[in-house]
Structure 1
Amino acid sequence: MKVIQHTSALLILQERLLGIRLLGGATALFGFFIFIIFAFPFDLFGCFCIAIAAVMATLSPIETCTFNKVNDLIILEKRHWFRRRVQRHRITTIQGIQVEENHWLGTPFYQVKLKFASGYRPALTQFATTDRIAQHSIAERIRDFLDIGHFPSIS
């Protein structure tokens, strides 16, 4: 996640899935070269690749997390091209911010999760990442912003 805005009363974090955008860019580049180098009917495959890349770029999700101290509100928003899902929670109900560690095929993946008094633990992002340092940095930044003590990571 990337910090979009940070003031004393507002913290906005945003995640754009870089992997999908890179894959879309590579697909578009591949399609462009196919279109330029080959003649009909093979150049139609290049056009198809470019169209697929456009769809990938359009449909890639954007996740935004807004912490607003003035309104005592956290807004977790996941936007796709055709739909938008928003969750609202009170900042005062947060008990902690934790970095959860999961292993898949021997590789550790990390994800920042909020811990509410009700026991509900939403993740800030839909997908976990292998970048442990970035996830701990985001968690620490949120803790500092909300003046919440340190909670250990979960494995």
Structure 2
Amino acid sequence: MLTNPQKTESAANLRTDAGLASALRVSLARLNRRLRKQGTGHSLTPTQLATLAAVERHTAMTPGELAEHEKVQPPSMTRVIANLEERGLLARTPHSTDRRQVSITVTPAGIALLKEERRLKEVWLAQRLKDLTPEERATLRAAAPILEKLSTT
């Protein structure tokens, strides 16, 4: 029986934490790229989409909080907010306790865009999952909480 040397080498590399880290990094980056392509055709950048989703998750944020959360400089976040506001996806309202600040909230149009974006990605991924064996899907079900833990720590 002939074996694929690359697969044998990859399996051997998965035995170490460094090899597993490398394989996960490559696979997750590739999956993330594929998922990004499944979007609605809205022409938002990944930063704009992440910003919109962050504001939705947190209900309302100041521009400074948003910049800190997204790990970008405040002037960059100001430009992102302005662009999303211009498109009608975010709105600025006076801050409830500090008149020098504004709160950023997602508009109904922004919520609808995020909802459709997620729906399209989930449809694509669900279709891909159908190509897997029941055992492979069971493995992914077991791995999902672990991947979530990695992404939040």
TM-score range, shorter chain: under 0.3
Point out the structure with the larger strand share.
Answer: 1
With CA pairs under 8 Å and 6+ residues apart, which has the higher RCO, 1 or 2? Answer: 2
Point out the structure with the larger helix share.
Answer: 2
